[in-house]
Amino acid sequence: RDGDFSEARVARLSDLSREDGRTLAKAWQAFPEATREAIVRRIDDLSEERIDVNFRRALRVALDDPSATVRQLAVSALWEEDSTDLLGRFEDLLTQDPSEDVRAQAAAALEPYVARAAEGELEPEEVDRLRDLLLTATSPNEPLVVQRRSLEALGPLGNDPQVRDLIAEFYASDEQALRCSAIYAMGRSLQSEWMPDILSELENDEAELRYEAARAAGAMGSQDALPGLLSAARDEDAEVRHAAIAAIGQIGGRGGARALERLADDADESDLELIESTLEDVNSLLDPFSSA
């Protein structure tokens, strides 16, 4: 019944003790698969809506679910996690899970750990293991979706020569999906050498590549990208426009604020709310003591 997955009921799975986690693990398999899937979906929704909930223990139970869909949803719901105790679990899922969708989701879940590695926050042996696992998972023998998510996850280590070469290799591919992942990784690498390619892709004929280029330009955070993003924020494709608006907000500063003000002057009604809320965020960082 719908009521079984009400916010109040599912929220009771937040902040479980170790003992509660063991109790849930014993009871979990008795639930029908559709129920287990619905619970994890609801947990994911609540995690996005509320900051006062922590479903880590409940989701760890779901990582062992016999259903690949439930395992994939559980990994996805843990997307903000970068605690070291989950690192090995995600690595195991990447290398051993029978489902390519779960493996791809696990690769994506490893990106926050790669970001920590790039900041020097992981032990050297952890960094080496993580890097090597993801490099192996980009092999052409792997399913395309696993290759893509693994390269994307490696992005923050983009100053590593092997990762840099791999980004270049994927970018030169005839496979558009691999090129999209290469552009994403360029942005996450924060390596200025990729900036000309990212700016060039803002004018690609393919909307999917323009979208990834807009996101990458925002991740790079360079004011040099603002003219190209201003143009992309008027793209015929709504997803490209919205990615470009968000990217301008990420870059921020006086230049970002001016670009958003220009957009607001002649924007479609459908985009105006996003532009105004993004501009408000930029202005609040420029003047944190403003009454707005």
Which pTM was predicted? 0.91
Question: What is the arithmetic mean of pLDDT over 49-74?
Answer: 94
- pLDDT tens for 122-141 read 999 999 999 999 999 999 99
d(Cα 111, Cα 67) in Å, to the nearest integer?
A: 24
Provide CB contacts within 8 A for 19, sequence distance 6+.
none
Whole-Å CA distances, 191 to 63, 128, 249 = 35, 21, 20
Rounded (10°) CA dihedral 89, 75, 157, 113: -60
The pLDDT score that the predictor gives to residue 100 is: 98
Provide CB contacts within 8 A for 159, sequence distance 6+.
189, 191
The pLDDT score that the predictor gives to residue 289 is: 66
- pLDDT tens for 157-191 read 999 999 999 999 999 999 999 999 999 999 999 99
Return the residue matching tokens 């290398």. 95
- Judged by average pLDDT, the poorest of 4-8, 9-13, 137-141, 210-214 is 4-8
